[in-house]
Amino acid sequence: MIEVRQIKKAFNDEEVLRDVSFKLRENETLSVLGASGSGKSTLLKIIAGLLDGYSGTILVNGKAIDDVKPKNRGTVYIYQQPLLFPHLNVEQNIAFGLTIRDRENSFIQEETGRMIAELQLQGQEHKYPHQLSGGQQQRVSFGRAFIIRPEMLLLDEPFASLDPSTRRDMQILFKEIAQKEGITSLFVTHDLKEALITGDRFGMMSAGKLRVFDDKESFIKDSESGVQEEIQFWKEIQNH
């Protein structure tokens, strides 16, 4: 269980995060919807340990991790850009986290093979990042993160640069694998549909404040989430 308590952060006297608090249960995905500049990326970076100078605390299974270095937090940050290692092929990129932990070769091969199959990357194992499409690269990026079973995955609009149909495929794939692998994640996006597809619980970020909804129904019914507006829009289209 991951708990974030009253995180406040300001950049040059401008408050970017105001008393942000939430709890994230194991194996669940909290999708946070918010526009650009709402503070979503700042929150992710603070949880990852990439930003300091904030007040509040972050707890993993009851232990505060505010002074723990990024590499020891067990959180993996996934950017919009896949940031694959250009000198390693698909297999090597996915296996990276296990290789540096000196796991046995047989274990690495088995896990990598399994992950490649789950990510539908069979046949691409020996290709290098520049030989892959955007969607394939992002899948490798996921595989690289999933394989080490992080405490928490922090996703910062990971599909924003993909075309609509690839994006949709990736959202569904992410949901399937996250559930299968039992990954806890915080998924940040400005796309309503993406939030609904990927999340188990939902949040809305606006002007540095976070509201969390305990279930899909309350999120859908809320007037500010945008779901009602969307439903109304399609109804009007249909009636005309």
| Residue nearer to another protein on the CB measure, 142 or 213 | 142
- As a whole number of angstroms, the distance between CA 149 and CA 160 comes to 24
**Least distance to another protein, CB of residue 142, Å:** 12
**Least distance to another protein, CB of residue 78, Å:** 9
- Radius of gyration, alpha carbons of the chain: 19
> 210, 30 in Cβ contact below 8 A?
no
| Residue nearer to another protein on the CB measure, 72 or 122 | 72
> 37, 45 in Cβ contact below 8 A?
no
Instruction: Give Cα separations from 162 to 123, 153, 193 (angstroms).
Output: 22, 20, 15
**Least distance to another protein, CB of residue 22, Å:** 21
| Residue nearer to another protein on the CB measure, 20 or 48 | 48
| Residue nearer to another protein on the CB measure, 149 or 221 | 149
Backbone angles phi, psi at 133, to 5 degrees: -80, 170
**Least distance to another protein, CB of residue 143, Å:** 12
Question: Which residues in this chain contact another protein in the complex, by CB under 8 A?
Answer: 48, 50, 69-71, 73, 75-77, 79, 81, 83, 85-88, 96-97, 99-101, 130, 144-145, 148
- As a whole number of angstroms, the distance between CA 233 and CA 90 comes to 42
